[in-house]
Amino acid sequence: MPVRPFFLRWPHAGRREAAGGSGRAGGGDMGAVISGRYVQYGCGFNAPEGWVSYDSSPSLRILRLPGVGRWAYRASGNAQTFPKGVRYGNIVKGLPEEDGSCDGIYASHVLEHLSRADCQVALGRTWRLLKPGGVFRLVVPDLEGRARRYLQARAAGRTDAADRFLEESYLGLERRPSGVVGAAKRALGASQHLWMYDRPSMQARLEAAGFVAIRECRPGDSGDPMFDRVEDPTRFVDAGTGVEEVAFEARRPL
């Protein structure tokens, strides 16, 4: 995965990049005829052809400022820029899409950055955007897998087991950022995980939002080449721990 923008840089981004993950989907037939409307939110730098891609990073808003945006974006320390097609949009506040208009929606490593209540709002808005029978696919970090690693480390007598669990889960702060840069990150950033899920808890959240045909999924098993374009297989397994992340496919009822 490429490093996130300066004001929304996830702590695990650099770790994944070092492991060889690009964060960009390379699958699917890019020459195929695009039919239907496909939307992803929290896209970062991944904006494949045929997908309407939204991100709520404040740095994207800076980049889009008329005249001075690109200069200000570069001055903030960002080496990589958003693709031109990425639009600013916040799923909790509502995306500028018609209800019942989407054939497919995708969210990879986004929902854990929301509060539990906001996650439920996001799932409800996702449900409403889908056409009847439309597909939603999501990936979030697996809390259970990291908890198992913590318990194994404790059993092995490791005194850093708790620290490692928090680092691997991207919970808490080792130290509070200070100075101008720290203030900017606190005001504009959203890098920490606010709520995490295991498979049963995420399935319960999807059911509460009204989704049906809920199943665990893996990259490439959607049967829809459009999802092959957007899904990055390295995001389904944590590069640092080997933990298989929580990944679900669900549908809006017909």
Supply the pLDDT for residue 31: 58
Supply the pLDDT for residue 246: 98
Could you give the count of Cα atoms lying within 13 Å of 215 in the half-sphere of its Cβ?
8
Residues 112, 82 contacting (CB under 8 angstroms): no
Q: Which of 74-78, 104-108, 130-134, 216-220 has the lowest mean pLDDT?
A: 74-78
**pLDDT band of 2, cuts 50, 70, 90:** very low
- Res 16 pLDDT > 70: no
- How many other C-beta atoms lie within 10 A of the C-beta of residue 216? 13
Q: pLDDT, tens digit, for every residue of 138-196?
A: 999 999 999 999 999 999 999 999 999 999 999 988 888 777 656 555 555 557 899 99
Cα end-to-end distance, the chain, whole Å: 35
What does the block give as tokens for 110? 């986004």
For the chain, domains (ranges, CATH) are 6-251 (3.40.50.150)
Supply the pLDDT for residue 59: 75
- Res 8 pLDDT > 60: no
137 phi, psi to nearest 5 deg: -125, 140
Q: pLDDT, tens digit, for every residue of 34-86?
A: 679 999 999 999 999 999 999 998 778 776 666 555 555 555 556 567 888 99
Helix, strand or coil for residue 115? Answer: coil
Supply the pLDDT for residue 174: 85
**pLDDT band of 126, cuts 50, 70, 90:** very high
Q: Mean per-residue pLDDT for 223-235? A: 97
Q: Mean per-residue pLDDT for 90-100? A: 98
Residues 219, 234: Cα–Cα separation, whole Å: 9
The residue count of the chain comes to: 254
**DSSP conformational letter for 78:** -
